Structure 1
C-alpha cells in the first residue's frame, strides 16, 4: 500500500483549495532509494533532485528551500524503504484569488513511497520498443525542462493504447522536434557520438539525464545537446532512454525500425553505479 505524508505528517490531508490541486501550481521529483546491498543508504542523486526542485520553485516564484525537518524525513523514509521510489511533491499551498498567487506562499510538501515497477528489470535486460505518439508537446520556454505538476500532455499520451509489442511512446513537440519518451529522456548514438534533445522549449530535463551526460563525458564520449528530428532517429545507430528509477536502457525498436544495443550502455550504467557507490 502506498504511504503518504503531508508536511511530514502521516495523518494530514491536503486542502481542496490547494493550488497544486486547483492549478497544478508546483513541482515534483521521483527518486529512487539505494538497495539494501549498496554500501550506503539514502536517496540516489538526492542533491540533484533537491537542486532541480529549488530551481523549479524559483522559476515559478515559489519561495521554498529544503528544511532540516524535510531532509530528516526523507532520510528516514529511505532508510525504511530500500530499493523503492520516493516521490516529493511541492505545491504553492492555499491562497490567492483565482489564478493570482498569494504574496507569501505556505508550501505544501507531500511525500509518498511506492514500489519500483517490476517490468523495469525486464526492460533493463531486454531493452524497450517505442511507438511514435500522435500527441505532441506544446512549446513553452517558461516551463520547459521543469518537472511541474501540470502533466496533462503526458496523461493524454498515456491514454493512447500502445500497439502490440511496444513498451512506451516516443514524443515530439509541435515543431516536429524529438523531445523524450513519455516518462524518460532520450539519447541518440550516431558514429559513436551521442546526441540528446535540447529541452529549452518543451520536455523535462531529468536528473538521470544530467547524470548520464556526466558519465558519458567521464568515459570520453562526446555529447551534444541540440534539436533533433525524425531523420535523426531514423539515422541513429543506437538509442537509449533514461530516468531516475530505471537508469539507462537500450531502445531496440522505434516504430518499424530496429536498433542494436549500444556497446557503451553497460559502461555508462557501470559508471553510474560507481558514482552511486
Structure 2
C-alpha cells in the first residue's frame, strides 16, 4: 500500500478503550507523511515513503544511539515499551533488516489502527503484545534484548508503577550483557519528574553493577527552564571502549544544539537543575 492509497478517513480513527480517547491518523501538511493523534495531541509521525525521516527530536536522538551501538545493518533484538505509530520499529527494520522486534502496547485498538492505515515496511518481524508494560515484561522471564526502549513517560501524569527504580531494575534484567536501555522522559519546565527518573535509573544501574546514566537532549534544556524531552541511557553497552566515539557521533548528528552528557556530567547537570528550582 502506497502513501496515496491509505484507507478512507472513516477507517483511520478508533476509540481507545484504556484511555477513553479518540485516536486518528491524519495527513501532516507541514512535514509530509502522517501523524497519529490521541485525544487531539500529536503522538507520532510516520513517513511511509522514507521510514528514516524522523520528525520528533527525541526520537531522532534515539535513532542515532541505535545507529552507533552495533555495526551498521546488523540485525538486533529490540523491545519497545510504548510505540505509538511504530515509528522507531519502522526505522529499525529499514536500517537493520531482519531485526527481531517486540512492542508492548496497553491500548488494544491502537496497533490494528496503525498497521492498517500505515503498513509496516516489508519484512518487518514485529511481535505485538497487548497489556501493561511492566506486567507483560515480567511475564517474559529469561527473555533478553540488545536494546529496550521505554517511551511511556509524560511528566507527573506518568504511571507511577513504571516511573520507579524497581521497574528500571526489571528492565535492565531483560538486556543482554552488552545491551542498552533507552528511556524518553518528557517533562514540564520544572523538570522535577525528570530529575527523579535520573536518580531512580542511576540507583538501578548502580545496583546492577553498571556505569551511570548518559543524557542526550537539546542543550538549552540544561540551562533554562522549558518543557521538553531528554533521552536517558543505561546498560552494559556503555562500558564499551568505543563509547567516546559514539558520544562524538551522537553529538555531531544532533539535532542541534545537542548535549551529550556522560554519567558524571549527568549528575552535575541535575544538581544544577535542582538548585535553580
TM-score for the superposition, normalised by structure 2: 0.28
Q: Higher helix share goes to which structure?
A: 2
Structure with more relative contact order (C-alpha pairs < 8 Å, separation 6 or more): 1
